Structure 1
């Protein structure tokens, strides 16, 4: 089984101690966010095919590369760098540090290990089309030679996302919008040309309506990439985690409402104060990232 750690929260940035404790113990427990049922996930070496880490800051794990190497399984890192204003991203690391980390992953782990995510594309009066053109080109240039793929998507405005964007817009004095399909398609064509000029393939995550001859389907959990790192074929079936997802099958070990980065467009956090409280109360020696006691408030479903 491929272990996803995690599209529900940033485990490398905030919960790396917990991760290494669980690898040592050989298992963890997670709560199914829809049914609420606790699930035991086998993390023994013989049961793990590989890992996909999702992060904005791999720094805590970079200091423990020897332990990851000793575990003996390949891993990729889906590394988000967007360089948005603090009004949208309250507490992410400086993009220059993030670029440096990606370059270390390329040189110290494997050239196929890091994948850059410019994701999601959010439109405000401070992050308009011109901003995205300049910003994407600058970041792509800084990452040339360090990644061969950049994955993008356009922000999906769930109810929680709309509430958080509205609150941030009122607090910081900006306007946000969700442009029509033609605007997004044209921007993707520009992104594709920029990416190609820096040796990258542009892929789009879980939004097949934007596929074209220049925009490929993203496979964020990618057994093929893991196989290239491992030097042998990795046989895992295709099984996306939601409609439109082209990923190989995986088991995610994160929990919603636990990432304190404070990105107001995030689908995985209802309120940052809740995420901060859970982060501060987190026990790195526990078998679950958040308490699974039935008396604890249940996590709301992803699309709430």
Structure 2
């Protein structure tokens, strides 16, 4: 199975101490975000965890633990965008994140790391022209350290509308302009542009629209074929293997305006206060009378070497 650490929050950036404590103790407890009384225990054991997927805007806190994590297969997506503190208040400077990306590449290898440039939004500051210019600069820096860059456009979920009321949808014409320009730039630097849950509209312009965290992505990282059970994606247009996420909503301290995982800052502050690095939960503790359900975990490795 695959354990995911980055769909609900950024564990790498804010909870690396907690995560490593979980790795050392060999298990984690997770509350179902839609049913708080349902608690699942996942074993963090390489015998059943085929890969740990990291999605982060700041891998730096985890870099010192890379050697300890090497007993697990890993895949890293690092999000690096052109936005400043006006949109991403607590994300480190892009130049630093790109250097950390290169350090991570040196430890994990090119098959185990990818770059995300998303979500793409347009306003008076972050125009189409600026995006294209900044993307070219970033590609130049990251060329040779990744073969993949995933793009997507801002989705106006209710949480996003609440926290970022001035955000607008990127039009179909603008999407095509982005896809065409980014694919051309990526080709110059040896970086394949992949679209995340955006349909196939950009395929004619050279964008790979087959998904980002796909079975092939993980098989390439692991070097082995996987027999993954059939499971519906969270969204019909998504073909990714999302795995099991051990994070919690309303806990990400980046406080990005476009975030779908935080409802508001007060919730985040409250949950951060309740975080204990020694707890098996990311937030809070086990209450009296609560029942822990042990997850059914099996390895998906079919033990046939892959030529990816």
TM-score relative to the length of structure 2: 0.86
Q: How does 1:55-66 map to 2 (within 5 A)?
A: 55-66=56-67
Q: How does 1:1-304 map to 2 (within 5 A)?
A: 1-36=1-36, 37-69=38-70, 72-166=71-165, 176-213=167-204, 214-217=206-209, 219-237=211-229, 239=231, 240-248=233-241, 250-291=243-284
Question: In structure 2, what is the Cα distance between the partners aligned to 1:238 and 1:101?
Answer: 35
SS at match of 2:268: helix
Alignment: residue pair count: 285
Q: Bigger shift: 48-57 or 265-274?
A: 265-274
Report the counterpart of residue 170 of structure 1 in structure 2: none
Unmatched 5+ stretches in structure 2:
289-308
Question: In structure 1, what is the Cα distance between the partners aligned to 2:41 and 2:227?
Answer: 23
- Deviations 1:276-301 (CA, angstroms, capped at 9, x unpaired): 33223310111111126679xxxxxx
Question: In structure 2, what is the Cα distance between the partners aligned to 1:147 and 1:290?
Answer: 34
Question: In structure 1, what is the Cα distance between the partners aligned to 2:125 and 2:25?
Answer: 46
SS at match of 2:203: coil
* Equivalent pair of 1:236/1:249 in contact (CA under 8 Å): no
TM-score relative to the length of structure 1: 0.87
Unmatched 5+ stretches in structure 1:
167-174, 296-304
Q: Bigger shift: 225-234 or 85-94?
A: 225-234
* Equivalent pair of 1:151/1:218 in contact (CA under 8 Å): no
Question: In structure 1, what is the Cα distance between the partners aligned to 2:29 and 2:96?
Answer: 32
SS at match of 1:73: coil
SS at match of 1:47: coil
- Deviations 1:30-79 (CA, angstroms, capped at 9, x unpaired): 1222333222222122110111101011111101111101xx22111110
Q: 1:249 to 1:12 in 2, by over 3 A?
A: closer
CA displacement at 1:210 relative to structure 2: 3.2
Q: Bigger shift: 242-251 or 148-157?
A: 242-251
* Equivalent pair of 1:73/1:230 in contact (CA under 8 Å): no
